[in-house]
Structure 1
Amino acid sequence: MKHRYLAGLGIASVLALSMGLPSAAQAAEANLDCKLRFSLTGWAAIYKRAEGHGVVTCENGKSMRVNIRAKGGGLTVGKSHIDNGTGRFTDVHSIEDVLGTYAQGEASIGAVKSGTAQVLTKGTVSLALAGAGEGVDIGISFGGFTISRAGKSK
């Protein structure tokens, strides 16, 4: 009886380890360096909305044109425009990992020339954004920042 228990425990251990190996291998591969260059125009009056476009490029030579939409709400008012914004993704396996909706929270104040720096998350993937532009913006907001492949419908 004791031998069956040990054999079963051994088999379960081997299975658990073998199931863990792909995850460890995938985690090791999740270091693809991908960057975003974007432009974004938005407005806010309690409800915040911004739209734009950009290009994601990865160190493996792949690139993808993307559309960007940011929606949310909060205590915010303003209008802004960002040109030549940049972003850097972390924990990416392939370029498709950058697509989706990232959680966004922001506190901002700016007049005429303004800037932004944010870190957004979507599961294990993070996106650090930076950009400068023009506009007036004041408040606290929350919502989602969605990146989709350009040319696809909403």
Structure 2
Amino acid sequence: KKLKQLMEKQVIKQHKTVWQSDLRNQHQGATSWLAMVDIDHFKKVNDNYGHVCGDEVLLLLAQKMRQFFRSSDLLFRFGGEEFVMVFEPTDYDSIHKKLAEFMDLVRGTHFPFVKKLTISVGMSRISPYDFPITVLENADKALYYAKENGRDKLCFYEELIAS
């Protein structure tokens, strides 16, 4: 329910930005986005080093997200080692670049005990006509595809459907 309210707020804000601005051209192609982020092989972290270490990894990753992304972007823990992020309106190239940079940051971060940590990301565009559950499911399908095809990947649902 909370996600639905937040997504609706983002979509309303998006339309105000696009239609009430004198600089409409700047915002063409801008849309809100939802990302599902999953830590690759997180079960191994818990199994090998214990849940206290796993919790440290989750906390450090959440701190990195909070520092890296805009304060207006919304961040939630979703399940065990998954996070959901809702991004303010931006274009595809900008969000792709930002997520790729974040994935690089994670690869280069020293986590407690864990030599190398990667994440997989599934992205979905938020359309004013979608139900929040549909957007979540689409991002989840893209995440599943990333994990099934080698992990440490960023996949966009709309691209997967197009191909």
Q: Same fold (TM over 0.5)?
A: no
The TM-score normalised by the length of structure 2 is: 0.28
Higher relative contact order at CA 8 Å, sep ≥6: structure 1 or structure 2?
2
Which is greater in Rg? 1
Give the number of the structure whose residues are more often helix, by fraction: 2
